[in-house]
Structure 1
Amino acid sequence: MKLGKVETEILENIVFRWLGKRRDDVLQGAGVGIDNAALKVEDKIIIASSDPVTGAIEYLGWIAVHVAANDVAVAGGEPAWYLPIILMPPSTDRDELEKVCREMHEAAESIGASIVGGHTEYTDTVTRIIVCGTFIGPLVSDRYISSSGAKPGDRILVVGYVGMEGTGIIARDFQDRLRYLNEKSIKEAQRYIKEISIVEPAIIAAKSGLVNAMHDPTEGGLLGGIHEMCDASNVGFRIYRDEIPLRDSTIRICKEVNVDPLKLLSSGTLLISTPEKEVDILIERLRETGKVVREIGEIVKNPDERILVSKEGERRVGRPVRDEIWKLWS
């Protein structure tokens, strides 16, 4: 089997067939393109999400906290309580463990979250440190925002540069392959990992009441994220390559290691589906966060219409089979 997320068909026919008892307090459970759960607890709604980090070595703890926190925020939740599971090969020393724990502490502190539990162990079933974490938090918007709410005619907004997470990982963990980039460019790209939180713009968008759907594209990059949101919503899309925000260093690094930046790990990017009439006011509010905001396309009715428009023309784009980062690990 190929490395990375399992295919949609496997999720639908195996994983999602076995989900335990159906409970009335589960407002949103597991589903294709849905990265969080909404749970009713008395008169409150709690958002929960879990994420592993398997494709990074450096900044592992920082990344683990933020990727799970982002999934809570895109639903309109405040990521408040984090529970990590840390699995380490027996060769891991105390300093390596402390580095991961310190990074998790700093990441949690940066968004006002607490680390409230978890599990830590040595095991010979892994070859490098793996962190799997769960974030839980209260709903702070007026309603739960699902990735399944995109509607035909909606405009697709992107907040934050695409591919930053993957670019940062390549610049850190695969620096030896970047033979034609100067040290200044590599150092700049390494710092992109510090920009992968989208908690602030996601909560602003959720509280605005102007969005129909939001999603945090991670593995599979921007294209993977758009496919997931459209799968969940049973719609299609048309997006415009020239409108997609990419940093020059991302383009250069991806070209050098032969990966597609649109299919590369993209924590730090927020996908929003919003009615056309709300676009201008929502963009204005989101730009107050200091992040780049672009309208990159629109949602269409036909679920089979998944189109990327570029200078070369338009073409149908399928779901990424796996994230581009795995090319470098294989």
Structure 2
Amino acid sequence: MKASTTTVHTHTSRAKTVGKTPLPVGKLPLKLLERLLRSIPSGDPNILAGPGIGVDAAVVRFGDQTLVFKTDPITFTSEDISRYLVTINANDIACMGGIPRYLLVTFLLPAGPTTPASVEELFSDLRQACAAMDVTLIGGHTEITHGIERPLAIGFMIGVMEEGAAHRPRNAGAGDLILLSKRIPIEAVSIIASEASGRLDIDEQTLAEARLLIRDPGISIFKEARIAWDHGGVTAMHDPTEGGLATGLRELALASGCGVEVYQDRIPVLPIAEKILPHFGIDPLGALASGSLVVCCEEDRAEGIIAAWAENGVEGSIIGRLTKARDMVIVRDGVRRELPEFPADEITKIFS
């Protein structure tokens, strides 16, 4: 009896220790998030897409309309924060097949450096960003607060869609090909060039080009999402953000109940990223990847989607496929290995 009691006590102590381990910066670990999401009650028949890993936004039937809801913060940068906020939320609406329409914003601004002029600039940028996406700002909240060092912005966006147009990751299945738009990691490179330029031994022209990536090719995936949807054969879409492409692929695989097999030599990386990321030891597969869209589609539709993107000035690549085996595999030079898992986004290395 004493031995049994001691064993139980040891397991309990370990559980308590594990539960108190500090979490890394960024998204919650997938296993923890999965456990939390399972605890959320469901059953409302009007919820067409609810909480889930790899599900970019909620889809709800509301009367004779179908609405898409999304909330997302901007925390890694203070430059162009309004543009990031509008685009990131609109991207997730588009991934579900929706069209962004309305936005509410919460700005939390640091006490001390915030001035009336800086707030005016923030709102001017927000108006321009909304106009560029044809989104109407309908409300929100702004305050100056202690306890933060940089502006934080949280968006809540509402979109609309035609009945039955939603993309749900669970619709994807083994054999579907995985497509990627543009090159990675657009967002990470742009932020690093803005936030850590003083620590980079790189010429100013290269840094200026990197900062402008937020505008060209940009971090919006709305155009390629609509093109792919209109072409047909799409089974799921996902917007890889924190944790980069590798995390986005893992999320998509978990949501679809499949595995992934991708080929590293088919994943296009920005040439400028290969100049900047090594300074901080950043792996492009694990760095903020907004600006690229992951699409799962029927095999016979893949080349058509790539061609349609090209006709509209969007680069696209077929990087792999979903598999029946639930393994996460990346192939390099013929060698299969596990797709890297990143507990925190690689961009956090610039803050350490």
Same fold (TM over 0.5): yes
Q: Which residue of 2 aligns with 1:52?
A: 73
Question: 1:151-300 maps to which residues of 2 (within 5 A)?
Answer: 151-179=173-201, 181-194=202-215, 195-300=218-323
In the alignment, which residue of structure 1 is the partner of 2:60? 39
The aligned counterpart of 2:125 is: 103
Among all aligned residue pairs of Structure 1 and Structure 2, give the percentage whose two residues are the same amino acid.
31
How many residue pairs end up in the alignment? 327
How far apart are 1:111 and its partner, in Å? 1.6
Residues in 1 aligned to 2:37 and 2:178: alpha-carbon distance in whole angstroms: 29
- For 1:99 and 1:148, locate their aligned partners in 2 and report how far apart those are by CA, in whole Å: 42
Whether contact under 8 Å (1:78, 1:140) holds in the other structure is no
8 Å contact from structure 1 (residues 75, 206) kept in 2? no
In structure 1, the partner of 2:135 is 113
Partners of 2:110 and 2:146 within 8 A in 1: yes
Q: What is the letter of the counterpart of residue 300 of structure 2?
A: K
> Greater CA deviation, 196-205 or 139-148?
139-148
* Partner SS for 1:238: strand
Q: Is the 8 A contact 2:104 2:138 kept in 1?
A: yes
- Does structure 1 residue 67 correspond to structure 2 residue 120? no
Q: Check conservation: 1:86, 1:121, Cα contact below 8 A.
A: yes
User: In structure 2, what is the Cα distance between the partners aligned to 1:81 and 1:308?
Assistant: 39
CA contact (8 A) 1:74 1:206 kept: no
Q: Residues 43-62 of structure 1, C-alpha deviation per residue, up to 9 Å, x if partnerless? A: 21111111111111211111
Contact 1:30/1:37 (8 A) holds in 2: yes
Does the C-alpha gap of structure 1 residues 312 and 252 become closer, same or farther in structure 2, counting only changes over 3 Å?
farther
How far does the alpha carbon of each residue in 1:43-85 deviate from its partner, in whole angstroms, 9 at most, with x for none? 2111111111111121111111111100000111001111111
Checking the alignment, whether the CA contact within 8 Å between 2:37 and 2:52 is kept in structure 1 is no
Q: CA deviation at 1:121?
A: 1.1
Deviation beyond 6 Å, 4+ runs, structure 1: none
CA distance in 2 between counterparts of 1:132 and 1:280 reads 37
Tell me the CA shift for residue 318 of structure 1. 4.0
Q: Which letter maps to 2:284?
A: P
User: 1:107: how far off?
Assistant: 1.8
Question: Partners of 2:80 and 2:162 in 1: how far apart?
Answer: 29
Q: Give TM-score, length-normalised by structure 1.
A: 0.95
**CA shift for structure 1 position 16:** 4.7
Aligned 8 A contact 2:56 2:95 in 1 = no
Conserved? CA contact 1:27–1:40, under 8 Å: yes
1:311 is aligned to 2:333: yes
| Contact preservation (8 Å) 1:34, 1:148 | no
Residue equivalent to 2:148? 126
Point out where structure 1 has 5 or more consecutive residues left out of the alignment. none
Alignment partner of 1:248: what SS? coil
User: Is the 8 Å Cα contact of residues 217 and 225 (structure 1) preserved in structure 2?
Assistant: yes
Aligned to 1:10, which of 26, 32, 38?
32
Q: Root-mean-square deviation (CA), in Å? A: 1.5
CA distance in 1 between counterparts of 2:220 and 2:69 reads: 17
CA shift for structure 1 position 169: 0.1
